[in-house]
Amino acid sequence: MSQRFVRLGEANRARVRIRIDGHPAEALAGDTLMVAVLNNARQLRESEFGDGRRAGFCLMGACQDCWVWTADGTRLRACTTVVEEGMHIITKQPEATWPNLA
């Protein structure tokens, strides 16, 4: 399956076009960036500590697990950012990872 979240209503909203890892994707106006991405993908980012993919945790701006990279190298907290037309999100870790090799 290509998405993680499941929409249960409120589907009659304007479409918003975004890109995820270079691929075009569709979100709905009023989606948080997190919901926009996770209705098109299984993850938001990769843990820089090498333990795998992450898809957020608290959805209320407390855990900071949903910071995503944009194609132009800025970072956004996906659960508190509203999706905007033309956003381009990268779900792969762009920098070095620091895995636990113990």
Instruction: Kindly list the residues in this chain that would bind other proteins in the complex (CB under 8 A).
Output: 1, 4-10, 12-14, 29-32, 35, 38-39, 42-43, 47, 49-65, 67, 80, 82, 99-100, 102
Residues 91 and 68: their CA atoms lie apart, in Å, by 7
Residues 27 and 13: their CA atoms lie apart, in Å, by 9
Residues 46 and 92: their CA atoms lie apart, in Å, by 6
Query: Toward other proteins, which CB reaches closer, 9 or 22?
Result: 9
Give the nearest distance from C-beta 84 to other proteins in angstroms.
13
> Token pair of 70, please?
């944009």
Give the nearest distance from C-beta 73 to other proteins in angstroms.
14
Query: Toward other proteins, which CB reaches closer, 4 or 19?
Result: 4
Give the nearest distance from C-beta 27 to other proteins in angstroms.
11
Give the nearest distance from C-beta 64 to other proteins in angstroms.
4
Unique residue bearing structure tokens 């949903």: 66
Residues 58 and 79: their CA atoms lie apart, in Å, by 9
